[in-house]
A = this chain, B = another copy of it.
């Protein structure tokens, strides 16, 4: 298949949609990104790569970081993490306290904020400098020297993060955080503030298309674990719109409010698309549309 031609078609077809969706205004550094940005990158398990648009521009990965947290926590702690986090879709918005209270401090899955806070706590138990470890892991996955997080984005989110602070305190109250609330939050906000490009993110996820193995990083996790991370992405990866994303796109995917979405075609490739304006469910408006066009054109939906 001529993937470059398909990317060009998609790029062309999403142009009229620029201006749709909304850029979130509660994180000023994100609000400053021009709404006409659009980038897309593919990375094949055989090593080939394709891209279009602003695929080299770094953006704030936000909740896509949860995918790397999950993988890192599984590497450090194994399946024992499931004693502290569920694996079911949440049915409520990604930052709801209601469900956490109702289910007595066990987050429904690792991809809602409460789940990622528990992942952060788990990683903190296994390393003396968690953020260094986290960035090292991203460098391993991408073979890049340069993976960093934005101090500005971090600070803005730390200052405004009252709801995440509420979640973390509730987790602490239920005994599901071992470290100090502020320590967990700092690590969590730092992860969200990591800056990466579409090309880097497609590369970083390649192990999920390769049964756990990446041409760059070698064996990241085993086959079974790679499949299971994909399964969780499919059922829980796009907040309260996981059902709709599966229905429209038909691929495991993980989105962030920075406008990025990574997706996996198991055995074939990873994709990353980026455009900052979001739909009502908090996923990139153009990004979701671009992925839907991609699976329609290529018939690569897993279904």
State the A residues within 8 Å of B (CB). 86-92, 96-99, 101-102, 108-109, 162-163, 165-170, 172-173, 181, 223-224, 226-228, 230-232, 234-236, 240-244, 246-247, 250, 252, 266, 296, 299, 301-303
Contacts and interface: CB of A to CB of B under 8 A. Distances in A.
B166 A162 contact: no
B91 A90 contact: yes
Contact of A98 (B97, B167, B227, B231): B97
4 tightest Cβ-Cβ pairs between the two chains A and B: A91-B91, A89-B89, A230-B303, A166-B169
Nearest to A249: B231
Contacts of A170: 97, 162-163, 166
A177 to B, nearest CB: 9
A166 B97 contact: yes
B169 A266 contact: no
Contact of A242 (B165, B230, B235, B240): B235
Contacts of A91: 88-92, 99, 108
Contact of A166 (B88, B89, B167, B299): B167
Given A88-B242, A173-B162, A97 B97 contact: yes
Nearest to A231: B246
Given A88-B243, A166-B167, A232-B243, 5 more contacts: A88-B91, A109-B243, A162-B169, A163-B169, A235-B246
A89 B244 CA distance: 9
A92 B236 CA distance: 15
A234 B91 CA distance: 15
A257 B170 CA distance: 20
A2 to B, nearest CB: 21
A21 to B, nearest CB: 20
Contacts of A96: 101
Given A91-B89, A91-B108, A252 B167 contact: no
A102 B109 contact: no
A227 to B, nearest CB: 4
A109 B91 CA distance: 11
A229 B166 CA distance: 30
Contacts of A228: 247, 250, 303
B303 A266 contact: yes
Nearest to A164: B169
Contacts of A301: 227, 231
Given A166-B97, A240-B88, A232 B252 contact: no
A87 B302 contact: no
A266 to B, nearest CB: 5
A231 B169 contact: no
Q: Which of A173, A226, A231, A244 has the most CB of B within 10 A?
A: A231
Contacts of A266: 302-303
Contact of A87 (B162, B232, B247, B296): B247
Contact of A250 (B90, B162, B227): B227
